[in-house]
Amino acid sequence: MQEVLSMVYLWLKAGHVIFVIFWMAGLFMLPRFFVYHQEAEAGSPEEARWIDRENKLLKIILLPSIIIVWLLGLALAGSIGAFAQGWFHAKLLLVLLLSGYHGYLSAYARKLARGERPLAGKKLRLLNEVPGVAAAIIVVLVIVKPF
């Protein structure tokens, strides 16, 4: 029985890492799409293509990935008793913040689709750094478990 549980844990972990990669890839791509979208002429066919690309990225990659990341992550945390560990609390906070960032990007995509362009390209390029910094900290927390 212990062997079966060990294998299930490893499959959960593998799935979690795979979907974290998908989610992070989408979080890296979307702000870059926004930069190109904003550089397109308003109302042009190019702008319409960017709106379509952003919607597909959000619906086909990002939404399923965030759901699976959360489900598998919570299952993993429960299976190892992580809810009582300090490193996990910090990781959970960062994942909550990344989830909020994901929501912000989704809302920004809707604004762009309506023709609103509230952020400059430079700010969008800076937004692109958020998931990288968060991922680096999360990896250290999970691997090193500093507290």
> What residue numbers does the annotated binding site for heme cover?
16, 91
Annotated binding-site residues read 16, 91
The residue assigned the tokens 């680096």 is 136
